[in-house]
Amino acid sequence: MSWIPALAERVKNLKPSPTLAVDAKAKRLKAKGVDIVNLSAGEPDFDTPEHIKEAAIRALRDGFTKYTPVAGIPELKEAVAEKLKRDYGLKYSDSEIMASTGGKQVLYNIAQAILDPGDEVIIPVPYWVSYPAIVELAGGIPRFLQCEADSGFSLDLDALEDMITEKTKALILNSPSNPTGAVYSIQDLKAVGKLATENGFMVITDDIYDEIRFDGNGPDNVASVMPDAKDHCLIVNGVSKTYAMTGWRIGYLAGSEIVVKACTKIQSQSTSNPNSIAQKAAAAALSGPQDCVSIMRDAFLERRDFIVDRLGAIAGVNCVEPKGAFYVFPDVSSYFGSHYGDTLIDGSLALADYLLEKARIACVPGIAFGDDRFIRFSYATDMDTLKEGMDRFEGALKELG
């Protein structure tokens, strides 16, 4: 018998990101030559725009390859400040901004910086897969606020108010939302701001899809619609989704200097600065020409309209029209209890497995986002793939009895 290393308690219950797992399985099958239609990806299919790549190449040529300040280079922080002013009308100084290795690390740093064991964080359901894990890794307790498709996944403000305790440290908002594509109304954002100031908790506002909106309105968040609540807001954002830069790993935080300082301390003892070259590229993305953003947004909109149309025509599938991001989250629960041969489709996991094994479509089961009635399709892929995916999906559902 070989010796077995003992792991820490905190990692024993930790599950790997389910979305990355589905994507990996789909890619593995594809590599084996299986003809997979992958609608599971959580990233734009576009290449990073050329002028952004050029900035990185220039940085490399100029020898910009050393450690930078932990919280990021001034040039990037200025570009972030400029963006927040341009899109939200919000002013942040250098000491209120920090850059990290993706929006995900920003969220991780925040949780480590503000949560003591037993502190509660309210998370609307359906949620982005990593929120509960990030909270739990910091010793916090996720409190789940159920949101319903009937109301377009808007916040149930009465239920939210009822959930607030002395232990409530923060609420996480993600608008536009992954996985639902929902955008919170200005009225609801204001109501959240009021609850935060009255009850003294922080609003972690994950604005990563802020530029991918189809409702004609600009980016907004609790801080921009309610200036009195700005001190309570921690803005999380990054360049991954807006500029097709998921692999570059640059995200940023804007908020109270106290929290930014604490996050910087944590980052200084964990990963240090984010990649120097990627910081230069991110600065170019934020401060350069923005027409690439609207070109990608228009493409996402065309695909959204297509996929919502197709899903709407399938019996037993109900889908709220997404207002942003690049996902649809149809309710497929009317198919639960049906069979394929001897296999019972008893939930979103079984359906997603069936779709992958039999129809060769990769999607993410809703249970990964805290709601088993749904599955998530990404439409960050070309129209031919989407069309083929919807043909297969419709055909596969017909075979269930």
Q: Which residues bind ligand PLP (CB under 6 A)?
A: 42, 102-104, 128, 174, 178, 206, 208, 238, 240-241, 246, 251
Give Cβ neighbours of residue 91 (< 8 Å, ≥ 6 apart). 81, 84, 85
Q: How far is the CB of 251 from ligand PLP (least distance, A)?
A: 4
Nearer to ligand PLP, 103 or 330 (CB): 103
Q: How far is the CB of 106 from ligand PLP (least distance, A)?
A: 8
Q: How far is the CB of 386 from ligand PLP (least distance, A)?
A: 19
Give Cβ neighbours of residue 269 (< 8 Å, ≥ 6 apart). none
Nearer to ligand PLP, 230 or 241 (CB): 241
Nearer to ligand PLP, 42 or 49 (CB): 42
Nearer to ligand PLP, 206 or 372 (CB): 206
Q: How far is the CB of 368 from ligand PLP (least distance, A)?
A: 12
Q: How far is the CB of 146 from ligand PLP (least distance, A)?
A: 18
Q: How far is the CB of 209 from ligand PLP (least distance, A)?
A: 7
Nearer to ligand PLP, 208 or 307 (CB): 208
CB-nearest residue to ligand PLP: 102
Nearer to ligand PLP, 109 or 264 (CB): 109
Per DSSP, the three-state class of 50 is: helix
